[in-house]
Amino acid sequence: MSSRHLAHTAADLRWSEYRASIDKFDKWTPNPKQSDFCIASLGDIEDKVNYYHKCKVDGVCRDMLINGSDFGYALLHRLLFLQSARYGRGCSIFSPPQDDDLRNKFCSIAYGEAELIAQHGFNIADLLFEQVSLCALDGHVEFLRRSWLSKLLEHQSTLGCFGYRPQQTLYVETKKAQTWRISKQNHQLLGGHCNGHFTSVAAATLAAAVRFILENY
């Protein structure tokens, strides 16, 4: 067996293991409930404080930043928590240098994952574009690859929203709702052609790309 074939087999094995682990939400650190708790706790900080002041958060939230899962959505939720503290509340979790180092570390790991996802047909596209949107927010412009952004636009429907599957021309008749509401349990709209989470990360990704263009060209 050639060394090239062995390398290809190892890469496929790595992908299959990675793909299988992504959906095991409750085994992550933080799991979705822990992540929601920590991010929500930032809202209890009454006033926006100086970045050199520490955010008053539960110890479990600090622990998940140091000992959390270094892959997938859990990694990004750790990054999002740090960004929410920095940009949303204006305070740091540990200290400005340590928080910055952690954010850079998380995006370095996320970039490797993003490349892996792209190499395997963008099979987890919403995760990739969550990686792009969050890390581009921190100035990591290497995530704004033209080929990745072009792939993102393949997921946009004629209605303007985004879905997990690449889109074809879509004609949908909709009835005006009697009341306006957001359902936290239902992200799938119009038969799966529109997904709330995917549309959110897509909008954030495109906003980051537009910002980069305006600031540099």
Q: pLDDT 10s per residue in the chain (217 long)?
A: 443 443 444 456 588 889 989 989 899 999 999 999 999 999 988 776 677 789 999 999 999 999 999 999 999 999 999 999 999 999 999 999 999 999 999 999 999 999 999 999 998 999 999 999 999 999 999 999 999 999 999 999 888 889 888 865 444 455 555 554 555 555 555 555 688 889 999 999 999 999 999 999 8
Picking from 120, 148, 163, the residue at the C-terminal end of a domain is: 120
- In a domain, residue 4? The reply is no
Please give the residue range of the domain that contains residue 131.
122-173+184-217
What's residue 1's pLDDT?
42
- In a domain, residue 136? The reply is yes
Q: What is the count of structural domains for the chain?
A: 2
Q: What is the 3-state secondary structure (H, E, C) of the chain?
A: CCHHHHHHHHHHHHHHHHHHHHCCHHHCCCCHHHHHHHHHHHHHCCCCCCCCCECCCCHHHHHHHHHCCCCHHHHHHHHHHHHHHHHHHCCECCCHHHHHHHHHHHHHHHHHHHHHHHHCCCCCHHHHHHHHHHHHHCCCHHHCCHHHHHHHHCCECCCCCECCCCCCCCCCCCCCCCCCCCCCCCCEEHHHCEEHHHHHHHHHHHHHHHHHHHHHC
Q: Do residues 34 and 70 both lie within one domain?
A: yes
What's residue 6's pLDDT?
36
